[in-house]
Each structure stands twice: as structure tokens, then as C-alpha cells.
Structure 1
Amino acid sequence: MNPLKKSIISAVLLAAAFAGPANARLAYEIHSTGAAGSFVVVSGSFEYGDDLSPLRELVAREHPTVVVFNSPGGNVIKAMELGRLIRSLGLSTLQVRQSECASACSLAFMGGVSRVAEPGSIGVHKSSFNDTDALHVADAVSAVQQLTAEVIGYMSEMGVDPGLLQLSLSYDSSDIRYLSGSEMAKYRLTTASQAPVPSAKAEPRDVARVAPPGIQAKADPSLEVPLARDGLVRHPKGRAPIKLSAEADAKAIGDVLNGVVVNILEIRGDWYKVSVADVVGFMHYSWVHVSQFEEDAGDRRYVQVRSFNSLSDARDFVKGAPVPLRVHLAANGWFAVTLRDVYAEQEAKEVSKALKDHGLIAKDSMVTIGNTYVRSVCCD
């Protein structure tokens, strides 16, 4: 048996032997694999009030690289929050059949930068939506629809095929459907055939910006999104608001001028938690030019005409286009297709309008600064 897998199984069985009630809140335990490094076992049920900060502190202190679950599920929102935290910390996830990862736990598992699971180790089913029981019918339907949309968005963000949700909805909340290895691969729930091996020399990565895995094989270094640690504010209006929370309608607690350096502390979906001077708040990731990204057009503009989640699809589109195009790896792991050249702002608007008027590019093509572009990957 693989030494890492043997160590994980032993840790899971030991945790189960001393576990509290089945509905116990989340707990985080560090386990060592000797020279290979360490991993974290997350056990218990997800509850809305669970505090995830102990995991961040544990990772900062012990530097594990892998997370394993022993959880029957629980609150969907909290599971997605944990998944995003796992992604922002640059951790991988691994699941064995000897432990449980069912229902909402599968969403937390999706947060791994790389994801490996044994066949039959992850179970899915329809969410029970218990929180809607006291609502009127119309409000309950609206709440279910909103949560379903959030789950679909989260799956896409993590690089998982949202079709997995459709499969989950086929099984009642009182039932569990354990996924086969081929199903995990089909829905991009897993990203590799070999278990991620913890490294004893792993560096803390609590400011990682990692592209959702599964969209492309990462054997090609040009398809890797580097860690986002810091950057310069670059906004079309010359200054960007810093928000109280990671939401578009959140209160602005200040403005930051273009060119000001911000440190990136955490990633929450499409938002960076940043610090600038003595202020800590949130900026949309399109407002910050990340220093670790290679793409930089300065004050000039790109004209983006399409985006794809597959590089091969983007290449095919470029080959058949009537105008010269280029493909960029984006910070979210997708591929943005732009006109090959960059332009001054007014020129970009004029070129875009002319090409739209002649039907050469899509009507919804947009002029953009390109802060979210990591590097050009095709097709000069």
C-alpha cells in the first residue's frame, strides 16, 4: 500500500475511534507522514457557525499540503466557504474509502488545487434545504433557486463540471450516490490519477491564486496560474474602491489611486482581500494588476471577443476567425480570446465598434485593461 495512503487511513481510523457525536462541528487535526511531510484531516459536520480560522492558523504553522475529509456533510454554504479557503491556501485534497465525504463535503473537496479520490469515497445527493421549511412557498422556491445558482457558480469556479449537480439531484436527500472513478473523472471532480504527496519543504501558500484544476492538464507550465501575492491598482476610472466585504454592493471604505501597491492576503471567488497602508478590505480581481502575472499592456487596451474553458476550443475559434486573434490564460483558469493588437483607449473603442458593425466580432465584445490575463498562450 502507498505509504501516504496507509498513513491517511491510520489517521482517519484513529480520529474515528475518538470522534464525538456524528453531528459534531468541524475539527482539524494535523498528521505527519514522516519524511514526506504532513496532511490535515477535517472531520465533523458542516454548520453555518463553524469557525474556519483554526485551519488557516494550522496551515500557517505546520505547512501541510493535503486535506482529507471524514464528514457526513451538512451546511452547503459553509462547505463552499471551506472549499474556497482550501483553494486560497494552495492545498490539494485526497479522499480514501475508509473515511466519509458525503453530501456537502463533496463541495469542500472541490476546493483542492489537485484532487484525488478512490472510487466510492465521495457521495452526493439532493440537498435537503431544511432552512426553507418555515418560509412561504414562493420564498422557499426563490431560496432554493438562489442556492442552486450559487452551487453551480462555485463548481464552475473550482473547475468541476456543473453536470455533477444534475446527477446529485437524481438522488433524494435520504439516499447517497457514491461516485465511481470514471464518474469523478468525467465531471472533473478529480484532477489526477496519483495521490498528491506532501512535501516536507512546502512553503505556506495562504495567498495563492490558483486556477480551477480540471479545465486543462497542467503538464504544460504555460497553463499554470502563478501565486498572486501583490499588485498595482489599475482601474479604468483611475482609482478603485476598497470594499468592506467581497460583494459588489458592499460599502466602500475608501478609494485607492491607480499605481498604488496592494498586498493580496486572501482570495474569495472573484475578490482579493488586500491590505494597503493601514486599511484591509476587498477589491475585485479585475481592478488589480498582479505582479506575478506576465501579461502587461500598460495603459493600452485589449478587445476581448470570446472566452472558453478549453484551450483547444479557443485555438479552433482563432483559426476560423476573420481577424487576427490571440488567446490568454486568465486568472480563473479560462482562456480569453482578444484581438491580436492592443490599442490606446479611444482607439480600442473605435476598432471594436468598426469590427462589430461589419460583423467580424461578436456584439458583446468588450474593451478591457486585461488585469485578469496571466500570459499569452496562443496563437502568434
Structure 2
Amino acid sequence: MRQLLDSVGDRRLPIVINSPGGDVLGALAAGRLIRERKLDVAVARTDFIGCEPRQADCTAEDGVYNGLTVDAGGGCGSACPIMLAGGVKRLVGPRAQLSVHSVGQEQKVKAYLEDMAIGPGLFTAIQLYSVERQLELDRMLKYGLITGHQSADELTGPGICRSEPRPENCREASGAKAQASTPVKS
């Protein structure tokens, strides 16, 4: 992730995550890096236009893959909410899902969430459940895990390129005068 962020220089592009979770220590490190870079994070999935980067015969025009972020089907579970907590603006849209469960590393997770100014309710919820449990948007907001009920479109939607100041993830669509959004996907 550090290599990816280094490759975009000082640009503060939003991070779009769609992850079932994984390594809690990796989530802690990623979340700290996100906060260090003052990045915004949204939970959504990316629907690529044309071909997907993982396809062997797919080549990106100018090294850029175009896509749309979609809340429906986007998810963040296990250690993923810990990474999300690192964002400056943290969004989980009404059609995305976020779930928590005990992930271990209690002292490190607790200290991290305190550093990120996330309320103690999230840590309690993480510790409380031995199996994944989905959190409702109101509870995420109450815990301070999300900063609002907006969808990923708030950070990556087509309308953002008309806002002032113009976000750094806007670029001219090739062959047209229209603006396009190109989020960084992790």
C-alpha cells in the first residue's frame, strides 16, 4: 500500500475498500498510513469500465483503469473496519455492509482506535462478538467509525469533479471534454 501511495505522490486520492478482512496487524499498519496521508476512505466495490485490471489481456489506457464505485455488494469485515478507522472522512453507504468480530491483539486495537478518536463502543462491539456481526449505519455513526451516512459517490461520483476546490481524483476523460473520476482501489 505504501508503494501505491508513493506512486501517486502528494495527491490525496480517496481509498475505496471492499474486503472480508484479514490480518489485524496489516489493518493497523494500513490504517495508520491512511491517517498519516490524511486520506478519505469509503466502503464500496468497483465496477470497471471495459476490462478489469486482473484480466491478462487487459491494458489500461494511459495506465488508468476507469471504474465506478458501487455501494451495493461492497463490504468490510473482520479487520477491515480497523483499516477504515484510519480515514479522515469515513463513509459506508446505505447499501454497503460492515461487520465486526473479535480479531485478537486487543491492546493494540484498543490503543489504535483511541489514537484514531473512535469511541469505545466500537472496541466493545469487536470484543463482544466471536462471529461476524453486521453493524447498522446508526451504530457506526454513534461509535464514530463513520463520519456520515453518505455513499462512496461522495468521494468518487461524477459530480465531485464539478465541486470547488476540484478534488485530486478528477481527470479529463480521453476523447471527450467530460470529467471522470478515477479512485484508487485497494
TM class, shorter-length = 0.5 to 0.7
Aligned to 1:117: 92
- The aligned amino acid for 1:59 is V
Q: Is the 8 A contact 2:35 2:86 kept in 1?
A: yes
Where 2:108 maps in the other structure, the secondary structure is helix
Is 1:176 equivalent to 2:125 in the alignment? no
Aligned to 1:259: none
CA drift of 1:148 comes to 1.1
Instruction: Give me the TM-score of the superposition, normalised by structure 2.
Output: 0.63
CA drift of 1:158 comes to 1.1
CA displacement, residues 90-142 of structure 1 (integer Å, 9 cap, x when unaligned): 21111134122101011011111011102451110011x5xxxxxxxxxxxxx
Is 1:67 equivalent to 2:15 in the alignment? yes
Indicate how the Cα distance of structure 1 residues 122 and 80 shifts in structure 2: closer, same or farther if over 3 A, else same. same
Distance 1:171 1:79 in 2: 19
CA drift of 1:197 comes to 2.9
- Superposition map of 1:130-169 within 5 A: 147-169=105-127
User: Larger Rg: 1 or 2?
Assistant: 1
Where 1:197 maps in the other structure, the secondary structure is helix
Distance 2:30 2:144 in 1: 19
CA drift of 1:80 comes to 1.0
Aligned to 2:102: 126
Distance 1:182 1:70 in 2: 20
Distance 1:169 1:150 in 2: 13
Q: Is the 8 A contact 2:102 2:126 kept in 1?
A: yes
CA displacement, residues 7-47 of structure 1 (integer Å, 9 cap, x when unaligned): xxxxxxxxxxxxxxxxxxxxxxxxxxxxxxxxxxxxxxxxx
Count of residue pairs the alignment pairs up = 132
Q: Is the 8 A contact 1:115 1:191 kept in 2?
A: yes
CA drift of 1:64 comes to 5.2
Is 1:76 equivalent to 2:51 in the alignment? no
CA drift of 1:189 comes to 0.7
- The aligned amino acid for 1:106 is P
Q: Is the 8 A contact 2:39 2:88 kept in 1?
A: yes
Aligned to 2:6: 57
CA drift of 1:75 comes to 1.2
Distance 1:93 1:69 in 2: 7
CA displacement, residues 332-373 of structure 1 (integer Å, 9 cap, x when unaligned): xxxxxxxxxxxxxxxxxxxxxxxxxxxxxxxxxxxxxxxxxx
Where 2:125 maps in the other structure, the secondary structure is helix
Where 2:124 maps in the other structure, the secondary structure is helix
- The aligned amino acid for 1:122 is L
In structure 2, stretches of 5+ residues that fail to align are 44-70, 170-186
Aligned to 1:318: none
Q: Which has the higher contact order (CA 8 A, sep 6+)?
A: 2
Aligned to 1:262: none
Q: Is the 8 A contact 2:137 2:149 kept in 1?
A: no
CA drift of 1:188 comes to 0.6
Give me the CA root mean square deviation: 2.3
CA drift of 1:161 comes to 0.9
Q: Is the 8 A contact 2:93 2:149 kept in 1?
A: no
Indicate how the Cα distance of structure 1 residues 177 and 58 shifts in structure 2: closer, same or farther if over 3 A, else same. farther
Where 1:68 maps in the other structure, the secondary structure is strand
> Which among 105, 109, 121 is matched to residue 80 of structure 2?
105
Aligned to 2:56: none
Indicate how the Cα distance of structure 1 residues 100 and 58 shifts in structure 2: closer, same or farther if over 3 A, else same. farther
Distance 1:70 1:203 in 2: 22
Indicate how the Cα distance of structure 1 residues 53 and 85 shifts in structure 2: closer, same or farther if over 3 A, else same. same
Instruction: Give me the TM-score of the superposition, normalised by structure 1.
Output: 0.32
* Structure with the larger strand share: 1
Distance 1:186 1:154 in 2: 18
Distance 1:116 1:80 in 2: 18
Identical pairs, percent: 33
